[in-house]
């Protein structure tokens, strides 16, 4: 089943919306995040305990636990806590009504609400760096590192992208295809949803909270792909990552979600597949470290003129620069892909990194050798700094196959190349403070890893031209930035009792056909 994915061409055209509809989606996304924060506050006020009579353990990975609701009751036992207008009880009681209205007329089984709680080792920046993926290739790289169930994906419309000051920020409409590894004979499910990622600061406690929202949307003309034997599902999920003094060196995790696969799928298969897909955060730190290594490989000079051959390096080097072990004909050696230094096998560490052609989403995992000095440098490299440099270099910004929101196109200027790249030999570790991060003044030029050249086909047809019609507004526009900051402050602020007519916690958000803009794209 997975062999035919990802598709070479997306099944849907770029999605363009009027400014009013774009602003409405942005507002609704922030309200959903605000609702999730309210649920999280109730969870902590009740001692972060889960009612064993209402929730059953589904899956556990390290310190993360996923539960499913077994009966319609309040999330926690009765306690003297505040009950906001959008409290968990009122939304849980109306869940069955919303579920019936989402997929009316289809044979289906009611799926339970899922609850994820626990902690992840790592920093909040690492988790969010491993979470964000702005285009189809980024999604496939992420799923390769986290072992997700994703088979294919595209960004249909990027409403808000990352910037130098907010490198983990994203808001857009995505289409993805999910597989069912526990039941390979079950048809894959596809989803069209609005996704939002970012970090906000709570107003009262100054806590930094990362969020990852996924909520299904209904778009005219972007309906189910029945002719391709794919079933359309619905999802509503918001994962919160909070830096807490109670978990030093880790991040607290809270999520409430519901996934409706539709069709004739057993509850057990659907629940297990959803739990596996939504617990990717357990490998978020590994994903972030691998992304940093890939970024360092791309940002270094990769010209053969600057890379001595291995035979020349061995001739010049008589010993390993890390441990000073002498080289001879019986010594196992390896060449570090980062600094081109020949080292002994004991000072070499292999990491599986994902590589793909610029025009393809098919990711190939390949073992790459690094010296221990380069790995130490990569670990000490600040994640925020690496993410910021990717944004400044334009990697993953405006590179979606359909990052479209209005009807004008802008071109991003080519950044200056990085003049020098850190040479990660043992002597450089003494200057960690001077070389632990890339220069913020000169963003590196994007360069392919030399192993990608083997995969290039001369007769390959070019993909449809990528468009980015948000322009520079998503990075530097005062209007767009001020609106985003204002909404995030409202989310991080105290509870608001206003009700939103077109916002249901587990219902689809409908995009009106009158708000869509038709695009004319060249096939060249």
- Please give the share of the chain, as a percent, with pLDDT higher than 70: 66
pLDDT tops 90 at residue 433: no
Q: pLDDT class for 300, splitting at 50, 70, 90?
A: confident
Q: Does 75 or 252 have the greater pLDDT score?
A: 252
How far apart, in whole angstroms, are the C-alpha atoms of residue 258 and residue 307?
51
Instruction: Find the range with the poorest average confidence among 1-5, 130-134, 154-158, 255-259.
Output: 1-5
How far apart, in whole angstroms, are the C-alpha atoms of residue 354 and residue 366?
6
Q: pLDDT class for 112, splitting at 50, 70, 90?
A: confident
pLDDT at residue 102 in the model: 38
- Token duo for residue 443: 């963003």
Q: What is the pLDDT of residues 328-368, one digit of tens each?
A: 777 788 999 998 889 998 899 999 999 888 878 899 999 99
How far apart, in whole angstroms, are the C-alpha atoms of residue 477 and residue 410?
14
pLDDT tops 90 at residue 371: yes
How far apart, in whole angstroms, are the C-alpha atoms of residue 144 and residue 511?
32
213 contact partners, CB below 8 Å, separation of at least 6: 29, 32, 33, 36, 194, 195, 196, 197, 237, 238
Alpha-carbon dihedral angle through residues 226, 227, 228, 233, given to the nearest 10 degrees? -10
pLDDT tops 50 at residue 517: yes
Q: Average per-residue pLDDT in the chain?
A: 75
How far apart, in whole angstroms, are the C-alpha atoms of residue 441 and residue 438?
9
Q: What per-residue string of b and e applies to 244-282 under the rule 16 or more CB within 10 Å gives b?
A: eeebeebbbbbbbbbbbbbbebeeeebbbbbbbbbbbbb
290 contact partners, CB below 8 Å, separation of at least 6: 145, 351, 352, 353, 354
How far apart, in whole angstroms, are the C-alpha atoms of residue 394 and residue 380?
23
Instruction: Find the range with the poorest average confidence among 31-45, 113-127, 353-367, 436-450.
Output: 436-450
How far apart, in whole angstroms, are the C-alpha atoms of residue 141 and residue 103?
32
pLDDT at residue 25 in the model: 94
338 closest CA partner among 349, 346, 328, 327: 349
Q: What is the pLDDT of residues 227-242, one digit of tens each?
A: 999 999 999 999 999 9
Structural domains of the chain ordered from first start:
2-74+111-282+475-515 (3.30.530.20), 292-455 (3.30.40.10)
pLDDT at residue 72 in the model: 52
How far apart, in whole angstroms, are the C-alpha atoms of residue 292 and residue 379?
8
CA angle 260, 239, 12 (to 5 degrees): 55
Mean pLDDT of 377-394: 91
pLDDT at residue 23 in the model: 93
424 closest CA partner among 240, 293, 314: 293
Contact criterion met (CB below 8 Å) for 124 and 243: yes
Q: Does 83 or 516 have the greater pLDDT score?
A: 516
């Amino acid at each position: 089943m997975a062999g035919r994915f990802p598709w070479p061409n997306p099944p849907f055209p770029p999605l363009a919306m009027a400014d009013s509809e774009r602003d409405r989606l942005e507002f609704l996304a922030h309200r959903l995040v605000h609702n999730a924060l309210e649920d999280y506050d109730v969870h902590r006020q009740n001692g972060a305990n889960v009612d064993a009579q209402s929730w059953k353990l589904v899956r556990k990975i390290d310190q993360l636990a996923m539960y499913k609701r077994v009966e319609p009751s309040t999330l926690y036992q009765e306690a003297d806590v505040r009950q906001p207008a959008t409290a968990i009880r009122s939304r849980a009681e109306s869940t069955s009504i919303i579920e019936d209205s989402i997929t009316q007329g289809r044979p289906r089984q009611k799926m339970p609400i899922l609850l994820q709680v626990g902690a992840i080792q790592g920093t909040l920046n690492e988790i969010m760096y491993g979470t964000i993926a702005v285009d189809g290739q980024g999604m496939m790289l992420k799923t390769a590192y986290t072992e997700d169930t994703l088979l294919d994906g595209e960004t249909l419309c990027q409403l808000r992208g990352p910037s130098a000051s907010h490198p983990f920020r994203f808001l857009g409409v995505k289409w993805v295809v999910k597989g069912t590894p526990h039941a390979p004979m079950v048809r894959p499910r596809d989803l069209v949803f609005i996704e939002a990622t970012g970090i906000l600061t709570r107003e009262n406690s100054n806590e930094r909270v990362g969020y990852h929202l996924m909520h299904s949307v209904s778009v005219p003309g972007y309906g189910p792909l029945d002719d391709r034997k794919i079933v359309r599902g619905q999802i509503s999920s918001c994962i919160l990552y909070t830096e807490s003094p109670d978990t030093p060196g880790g991040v607290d995790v809270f999520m409430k979600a519901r996934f409706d696969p539709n069709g004739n799928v057993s509850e057990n298969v659907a629940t297990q597949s959803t739990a596996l897909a939504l617990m990717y955060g357990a490998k978020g730190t590994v994903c972030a470290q691998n992304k940093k290594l890939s970024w360092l490989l791309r940002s270094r000079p990769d010209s053969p003129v600057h890379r001595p051959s291995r035979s020349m390096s061995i001739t010049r080097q008589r010993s390993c620069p890390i441990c000073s072990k002498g080289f001879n004909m019986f010594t196992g050696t390896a060449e570090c892909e980062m600094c081109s230094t020949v080292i002994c096998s004991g000072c070499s560490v292999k990491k599986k990194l994902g590589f793909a052609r610029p025009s393809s989403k098919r990711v190939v995992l390949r073992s790459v050798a690094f010296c221990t000095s380069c790995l130490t440098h990569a670990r000490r490299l600040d994640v925020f700094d690496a993410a910021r440099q990717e944004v400044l270099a334009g990697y993953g910004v405006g590179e979606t196959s359909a990052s479209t929101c209005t009807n004008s196109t802008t071109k991003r200027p080519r950044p200056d190349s990085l003049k020098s790249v850190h040479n990660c030999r043992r002597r450089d570790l003494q200057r960690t403070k001077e070389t632990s991060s890339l220069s913020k003044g000169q963003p590196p030029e994007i360069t392919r890893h030399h192993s990608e050249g083997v995969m290039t086909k001369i007769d390959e047809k070019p993909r449809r031209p990528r468009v980015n019609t948000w322009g520079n507004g998503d990075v530097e526009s005062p209007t767009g930035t001020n609106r985003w900051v204002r909404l995030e402050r409202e989310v991080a602020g105290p509870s608001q009792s206003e009700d939103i007519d077109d916002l249901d916690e587990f219902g689809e958000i409908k995009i009106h056909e009158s708000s869509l803009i038709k695009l004319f794209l060249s096939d060249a």
